[in-house]
């Protein structure tokens, strides 16, 4: 997914779980957007079952392709 979305920042995986990180580390574990403020995007079966918010990033990537990056980086 990282290759497809081409984020303009570096990511790094941790080897061990840490409850808290130092201030210079961006800890995004609790920054999940709520379904109410997520942008609506094309979904394959939306015409039959309606838009379903808060699915996986794969759903958005498969539905929107390269355009998915615009949805993710929207503030």
CA distances from 31 to 7, 25, 27, 34, 44 (A): 17, 14, 8, 9, 27
Note the pLDDT tens digit of each residue in 19-68: 888 888 877 777 665 556 667 888 888 999 998 887 878 888 888 888 88
Per-residue pLDDT at 14 exceeds 90: no
3-state secondary structure of 8: coil
3-state secondary structure of 62: helix
What pLDDT score does 75 carry? 46
What pLDDT score does 51 carry? 87
């Amino acid at each position: 997914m990282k290759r497809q979305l081409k984020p303009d920042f570096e990511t790094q995986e941790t080897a061990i779980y840490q409850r808290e990180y130092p201030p210079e580390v961006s800890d995004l574990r609790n920054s999940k957007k709520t379904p109410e403020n997520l942008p609506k995007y094309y979904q394959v079966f939306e015409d039959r079952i309606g838009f379903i918010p808060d699915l996986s990033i794969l759903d958005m990537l498969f539905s929107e392709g390269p355009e998915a990056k615009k949805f993710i980086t929207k503030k």
